[in-house]
Amino acid sequence: MYSAFETEVRIRPDDIDLNNHVHNTKYLDYVLAARYDQMINNYKMSMDEFWKLGYNWVVSITYIEYKRALTLEDRILVRTQVDSVNGAQCRVNFWILKKENRKAAAEGYLIYTMISTTSGRPVRVPDEVIERYSV
């Protein structure tokens, strides 16, 4: 069982679309921004460190259910949790929560694939990484 982590992400005016709501595609940008922070602050293993070890995480699949519109006034928390690691792949579940009532504005998952930067091919997620993720 993997821990869940939460990161506040600030909505910017350039994220808002012609419906006066956060544009659909920005939700995933918020999740990626939160994961980036959580890799540094929670897993203590930044993307930089991955690159130095010759690994890269690429996004293979994204699934998002949009539940509530977000506006420029909303404060949001991005909650993510590793669901499982299988071979070269890691599934991360996420929820974008309104800060005031913790209601989900969106939820979904990402499937990441670990790539060797030398071969450019998928590689089994090393035990060392799984350990770091098991905080």
| Calpha distance 131→5 (Å, rounded) | 16
72's tokens? 């420029």
- The one-character DSSP state at 41 is H
Specify the residue, 71 or 134, whose C-beta has the smaller distance to a second copy.
71
Which whole-number Å values give the CA distances from 57 to 20, 42, 50, 84, 115, in the listed order? Answer: 33, 17, 8, 15, 6
Specify the residue, 48 or 131, whose C-beta has the smaller distance to a second copy.
48
Looking only at residues 50 through 69 of this chain, which bind a second copy when binding is defined by CB under 8 A?
56, 58-66
> Min. distance of Cβ 41 from a second copy in angstroms?
13
- Any alpha helices (H) in 1-135, and if so which ranges? 24-41, 47-52, 127-133
Classified as helix, coil or strand, 30 is helix
Window 74-113: contact mask with a second copy (x via CB under 8 A): ----------------------------------------
Longest dimension (CA), the chain: 46
Specify the residue, 87 or 134, whose C-beta has the smaller distance to a second copy.
87
- 44 belongs to the binding site for a second copy (CB under 8 A): no
89's tokens? 């792949």
> Min. distance of Cβ 1 from a second copy in angstroms?
26
> Which residue ranges make up the site for a second copy (CB under 8 A)?
9-10, 12-14, 16-20, 23-26, 28-29, 32-33, 36, 48, 56, 58-66, 72-73
